[in-house]
Structure 1
Amino acid sequence: MSRPRRTPAPPSDERGSTLVVVLIIMLVLSLGGLTAATVVTNTTASLVGSRSNAEARAAADAGLADAVAHVRRTDVVCNLSLTNATAPRYDVASTCEGGRATFVSTGYGVSGGAVTLSAVYDYSVENIGGEGDMVFFGKTTFTDEVLAHTLDDELLSIVIPTGDFTCQSVIPANIVLSGSFATKGGCDVQGSVVAGGTLDMSNGGDTIRGTVSVSGSGSNNIQGTIGGDLLAGGTVDFGWNAKTVGGDVVTAGSAYLGSQRLLGSLTLPLSATLQMESGSVAGGINEPESVTTPAAAPTFDPWFDYRYQQSDWQGFDVVTLTDVRGSTAVGTCGYFNASPGTGWGSLGTLTTPTIVDARACSELSSNNGSHPEVFLNTDLVLLADDFDLTMLTVRAAGGASPSVWVVVEDTLADGKPTCVRGSDILINGTIMATGVTAMAYTPCIIDVAGMGHDEWSGAFYGGSFDYGGGLSFYGDQILLPNMPESATSVGAETIEALGTLVSQRDLR
C-alpha cells in the first residue's frame, strides 16, 4: 500500500525581517553620527575656550611683567594703574599695605575669555630727602678730614643745588646734587645718592649703601659696591673688582659687565649693547623695546637770599658795634676783635635773646690769642660782613639749649648767592658744641681751616664749602626767619623699592 506523498511546504518570505535589520542598522549609524557630531562640536568649543583662556593667561602674565618692569624703572610701587588696549590686552593695578605690594592683572583673550592673576611682592620705602643739614651752591668735596655725624638714628641730608660732589670719606647721609657724583677712595656713603649728572666710582673699595639715581645721559663707571638699585640715564660700565649691586639695574643706555655681580635684574633697551664678561645677573635680563629715562633729575629751590631786618627777630635785644680805631671799649669792634677779646666772654652773661650787629666792623673775629670759651644761656645772632671764628668755643650753660645764627647777609635778592670778596665764615679750631644748635649762613665760602679740631652742631648753608681738616659735623635742623623748609630739603625724593616675589596665584 503506497503511502501518500507529502507535498513540500512553500519557502518562507524573509524580505520583511531584512528590512527591519536594515532599519536598525541605519538607526544605530544615525545615533553614532549624531554622537560624533556632538563630540566634534563639544571638542571644537572646548578647544576654542582653551585657546581663549590660554591667550587670557598669557596676557595677564604680560601685564604682571610690564608692571614689575615699570616699577623697577620708576620706583613707584603703590597705586599703579596700567592698561594695554591692544594684544596682549590687560589691566594691572597695585595696592600696598604692611610692607607688601599686591599686583592684580586681568588678561583678555581674543574670543572674550578673561584670567586674573595676583602677585605679592615685598617692598620698602626710603626717603632720600628730608631736612637739609648741609646745603652748598657750588662744587663740594669731603675728604677723610670731614667727619659727619648724626645726633639720632636718621641720616644727614647733604644738598648741592649747583655743582658736583666728590666723596673721599665716610658720610652718614643721603646726598642730592645737580651735577655728577664721584668717589675717589675711602668713600662710604651710608645713604642714597640722587644726581643730575653721572656716577664715577673709580675705586673698588668705595661703597654707596643705598639707591643710586643718576639722570645724566653720559657714561657711568661703577668699580665699587652699591647696596640698592641703580637707575641710570646713560651707559653703565661695570668694572673688574667682583663687587656687587644689591638691587636692580635699569639703564637707558648700553651696559658692559666685567666681573660685577648684579643681585637683582638688569633692564636695558633692546637696541642697546650688552657685553657680558665674567659678571652675573641673578634676577634675569630684560630688554624691552624702549626704556624711558629711569632716573628723574632732582629739582631744587633757588638760593634763599637773606637780608637782615630787625623785625625778623621779635624779642631780641640789639647790640650794635662801632668801628673806633684802636679802641677796645664796650660796644666797639675791638671789644671782640682785639686781645683779650672781652666781648666774647660777655656773651655768657646774656639772659635775653640778643643780636650782635658787627656790620660796621671789617670782620668779627675771635682770632686774638684769647681762645674764648662762652657758656650761653640764651639765643644769639652774630651779624657781620666777614667772620674769623678761630679758637672760639661756644657751649650751652647748664639747663639751656641755645640757638646761634652766624650770618653774612646776601643783600641782592636775585635767587642766587651774591658773594662779595671777604664775606666768608672761617671755622678754625672752632667748637659749636652739642647742646648748641648753630647755623652758618653766607653767600660766600664756609671755610674749614682745621686748626686743632673743629666741631659744629647745627647746619651749614653756603655759596660753597672749602674743606680744610678736622671737622666733626653734627646735623641739627635750624632755619633763618622766613626761610622755607624746602630751601634746605630741596631735591627730596621718596623711593619705593620693590623687593622679592612672595606669592602668586589665580583669582579667576
Structure 2
Amino acid sequence: MLVSLHEALRRRIHDPSDLRNDRGATLVVVIIVMMVLMVGAVLVGGLVVNTASSVVSSRSTAQSRAAADAGLAAAIAQASGADADPCGAVPAGTAPNYTVAVACDSPGVGQVTYTVTGTASGASTTLSAVYELDGLTPPTAGGPGLFYTYSMGSRLNSYVFDSANSEMGIDDFVGSAGVYASLGKIACGTGSVFPGDIYTKTGDMQLDNGCVVEGNAYIGGTAVVNGGKIEGSLIAPKDVGHTIAGTVGKIGGSEGNVFVGGTVTLNAGTVYGSVRAAGTGNSTLGSGTIFGGFTYKGGYGTWGTPATTIVKGSITKNTALATVPLPEIPTWQDVDFTPVNATTPPQAWADEGYKLTTVTGTACNKWSGNSADVTSVASTLTSRMIFDIRGCSGNFDTNAGGANKQVKINRDIAIIANRWYLSGTKFSSADGQPHTIYLITPDSKPAVAGPQCNSPASASEQLNDSMVDPKIAIYIYTPCKMKFNSGPATFRGQVYSGELEFGGGVKVAFAPRNIPGYDFGEDVDPWPGSGGAGTDSLGNLISQRDVP
C-alpha cells in the first residue's frame, strides 16, 4: 500500500497537469501517510514501554522474594544454637526489608510457623515455613520451694495456698517450686491448690476433681489427671500409659501442653496446647479436645469420634520423636548441728548474730508438758538465739492441757530438737515485728546420703488448729516425717522433710528462708515458675509454601 501511494505521488509531481487537477486528492494522501506513520510509532513505543515495565516488575518481585528468603534465614539463625528460642520474636529487617511473624503451638511442645513478608519497590512476597520443635533444653534446676520432701506419704487434700499472707509469690522466688517430691506419689482432691510447679523424681501423680496445679507438673512416674487441672504443662517422660481425664492449660494461656514418654489416653479431657506421645505403643483419642496438634511416635486409635474432630491442630506421625527429660530435682542435703561448746554455736550461725543456749535439767520444763511456756524464754531476748533442746526427753511438746500454747518471740530464734509436737500452738510476734523461727531436727547420719531419721530423732507434727501469725515465718528441717493435721490450721514458711504427710486441710503461706551455712539452691537459677517448661530446639522442616 505504501509503495502504490508513493508511485501515485511521484507521477503527480512529474505531471503538472495532474497536480493542478488533483491538488485536493494529493493532500488527502499525504495526511493518510502521516497518520499511518504515527500509528506505527505509537505501537512501537507502547511495545517498548510494556517491555520495560515487565522487566521492572519482574525485578521487584525477585527482590521481594529475596527479602522474604533473607527473613526466613534470619529466623532460622535466631532459632538455632544452644541458648536460642525458636518461639522468640524476630526483629524486622531493613535492606532487605522483611517482617517475620512467629506462631508456636506453645513453648515445650509442637510446631513453630514463621510467616515472612519481604518487600521491594512496591512488590511483596509472603511465605510460610513450618518446623518441628524438638524436645526441651532444660534450664538449671533450682532449690526447694514451699515443700521439699524426700518422700510423699499421703494425699494432700484441702491443701490451700494463702497468697495474701505470703512474703512473695512462688514464681518470684529463686529456686521456685510448689512441691518437690523425690519419691512417693503426689495425689490430691477437692480444695487442694498448688501455687507453683510440682515435681516427682520417680513418683506418680493423680489429680482428682477439685485439685489444681497452678504451674507445671514434672512427673517421673505415671501421670493421671482424673478430673483435676494443671494450668501449665505436663511433662511425664516415663514410657507408660498416661491419662488425661481432666484439664491441662487454660484459655488464653501460653502453655497447656502434654509431653509424655509413653502413650496418652484422652478420656473426656481438655488440652489447650498440644500433645506429644513419644512411646512406641498406641495412644487413644477417646473423647475430649486437643486445641493444638497431636504428634505421636507409635500409633493411635479412637473410640468412634474421628481424630480430626478431637484434635483441632495437625496430626503428625514422627518416628524420631524423643522424650523430654525431667529437670534434675535437687538431691537431699544433710544438715548437722555441732556447736563449738554449750554457749557457742557453729560459725555460720554466729556470723549471722545468733547466740546459743543449751537447754538441760529443769530448764527443759519450759519446752514440754504442763509447764511448757516458751514465751517466757523467747519474748524478751536481746539477740538472735538458738535453743538446743536435744537433751530434753520431752522435746518441744505443747500437747499437755496445762501448756501455754502461745509462743511469742521478739527476735529470730532456732530450736534444735529431736522432734516437736505442736498441738493448738499459736506462733506470734511479741513486738509486732516480723521474725523467723527455725525448727530443726539434724540428720542422724550426715555422712550417709539421703535422710537418716534414727532414734532419738522421730516424726514431728503440727495439729489441732495450730496457727502461724503472718508476722512469723517458720522454716522446718527434719529427716523424719512432718505431718500437718486439722482443717483450720495455718502454716507460713517452708518445709524440708524426709517425708511429708497431710492428715487434714491446712492453709499454707510462703516465706522463704535458708539455714545459715547451707545453700539449698538460694543462688541457683530456677526453672521458670508457672510452668516454665524450658526452651525447645528447632527441628525438621515440615512444610514451606507461598502465601497468596
TM-score (norm. length: structure 2):
0.65
Determine the C-alpha separation between the residues in 2 that align with 1:130 and 1:277: 46
Determine the C-alpha separation between the residues in 2 that align with 1:94 and 1:476: 41
Determine the C-alpha separation between the residues in 2 that align with 1:407 and 1:339: 23
2:377 is paired with a residue whose SS is: helix
Match of 1:215 among 237, 241, 261: 237
Match of 1:412 among 440, 446, 455: 446
Matches within 5 A, 1:77-116: 77=86, 103=114
Matches within 5 A, 1:383-402: 383-402=416-435
Determine the C-alpha separation between the residues in 2 that align with 1:342 and 1:288: 67
1:346 is paired with a residue whose SS is: helix
- Contact between 1:247 and 1:262, CA under 8 Å: does it hold in 2? yes
Structure 1 residue 364: Cα displacement: 1.8
1:477 corresponding residue in structure 2 = 512
1:289 is paired with a residue whose SS is: coil
Determine the C-alpha separation between the residues in 2 that align with 1:116 and 1:415: 59
Match of 2:287 among 242, 259, 264: 259
Determine the C-alpha separation between the residues in 2 that align with 1:102 and 1:256: 27
2:322 corresponding residue in structure 1 = 292
Determine the C-alpha separation between the residues in 2 that align with 1:440 and 1:184: 28
Name the aligned partner's letter for residue 462 of structure 1.
S
Alignment gaps of 5+ in structure 2: 1-61, 90-99, 117-124, 172-176, 250-255, 339-344, 537-543
Determine the C-alpha separation between the residues in 1 that align with 2:427 and 2:468: 5
Determine the C-alpha separation between the residues in 1 that align with 2:430 and 2:463: 23
Matches within 5 A, 1:48-447: 77=86, 103=114, 132-150=145-163, 151=166, 152-155=168-171, 157-168=178-189, 169-178=192-201, 179-202=203-226, 205-227=227-249, 228-239=256-267, 241=268, 243-253=269-279, 254-269=282-297, 271-275=298-302, 277-278=304-305, 280-293=310-323, 295-309=324-338, 310=345, 311-314=347-350, 315-322=353-360, 324=361, 327=362, 332-362=363-393, 363-369=395-401, 370-410=403-443, 411-421=445-455, 422-429=457-464, 430-447=466-483
Name the aligned partner's letter for residue 392 of structure 2.
C
TM-superposition CA deviations, 1:226-257 (whole Å, max 9, x none): 11000010011111x3x310001111123211
Name the aligned partner's letter for residue 475 of structure 2.
M
Moved more, 205-214 or 134-143: 134-143
Structure 1 residue 162: Cα displacement: 2.5
Determine the C-alpha separation between the residues in 2 that align with 1:94 and 1:488: 36
Determine the C-alpha separation between the residues in 2 that align with 1:356 and 1:481: 15
1:458 is paired with a residue whose SS is: strand
Determine the C-alpha separation between the residues in 1 that align with 2:142 and 2:291: 26
- Contact between 1:406 and 1:438, CA under 8 Å: does it hold in 2? yes
Alignment gaps of 5+ in structure 1: 1-52, 81-92, 106-114, 499-503
TM-superposition CA deviations, 1:419-443 (whole Å, max 9, x none): 1245222112322221111101100
- Contact between 2:374 and 2:407, CA under 8 Å: does it hold in 1? no
Instruction: Flag the 1:303–1:496 CA change in 2: closer, same or farther, 3 A.
Output: closer
Q: CA RMSD in A?
A: 4.1
- Contact between 2:349 and 2:517, CA under 8 Å: does it hold in 1? no
Instruction: Flag the 1:142–1:487 CA change in 2: closer, same or farther, 3 A.
Output: farther
Structure 1 residue 209: Cα displacement: 1.2
Structure 1 residue 167: Cα displacement: 2.1
Structure 1 residue 119: Cα displacement: 6.1
Match of 2:490 among 452, 455, 465: 455
Determine the C-alpha separation between the residues in 2 that align with 1:469 and 1:94: 50
- Contact between 2:237 and 2:262, CA under 8 Å: does it hold in 1? yes
Structure 1 residue 338: Cα displacement: 2.9
Instruction: Flag the 1:274–1:404 CA change in 2: closer, same or farther, 3 A.
Output: same
Name the aligned partner's letter for residue 495 of structure 1.
A
Instruction: Flag the 1:140–1:175 CA change in 2: closer, same or farther, 3 A.
Output: farther
1:84 corresponding residue in structure 2 = none
Determine the C-alpha separation between the residues in 2 that align with 1:274 and 1:104: 33
Instruction: Flag the 1:79–1:471 CA change in 2: closer, same or farther, 3 A.
Output: closer
2:206 is paired with a residue whose SS is: strand
Instruction: Flag the 1:506–1:484 CA change in 2: closer, same or farther, 3 A.
Output: farther
TM-superposition CA deviations, 1:100-121 (whole Å, max 9, x none): 998599xxxxxxxxx9957699
- Contact between 1:396 and 1:436, CA under 8 Å: does it hold in 2? yes
Determine the C-alpha separation between the residues in 1 that align with 2:322 and 2:436: 47
Determine the C-alpha separation between the residues in 1 that align with 2:447 and 2:126: 58
Determine the C-alpha separation between the residues in 2 that align with 1:482 and 1:94: 49
TM-score (norm. length: structure 1):
0.69
- Contact between 1:117 and 1:505, CA under 8 Å: does it hold in 2? yes
2:239 is paired with a residue whose SS is: coil
1:404 is paired with a residue whose SS is: strand
- Contact between 1:75 and 1:496, CA under 8 Å: does it hold in 2? no
Instruction: Flag the 1:505–1:235 CA change in 2: closer, same or farther, 3 A.
Output: closer
- Contact between 2:146 and 2:170, CA under 8 Å: does it hold in 1? no
TM-superposition CA deviations, 1:328-386 (whole Å, max 9, x none): xxxx2112213232344331111310011101012221222224213322100000111
1:108 corresponding residue in structure 2 = none
Sequence identity, in percent?
24
Instruction: Flag the 1:478–1:225 CA change in 2: closer, same or farther, 3 A.
Output: same
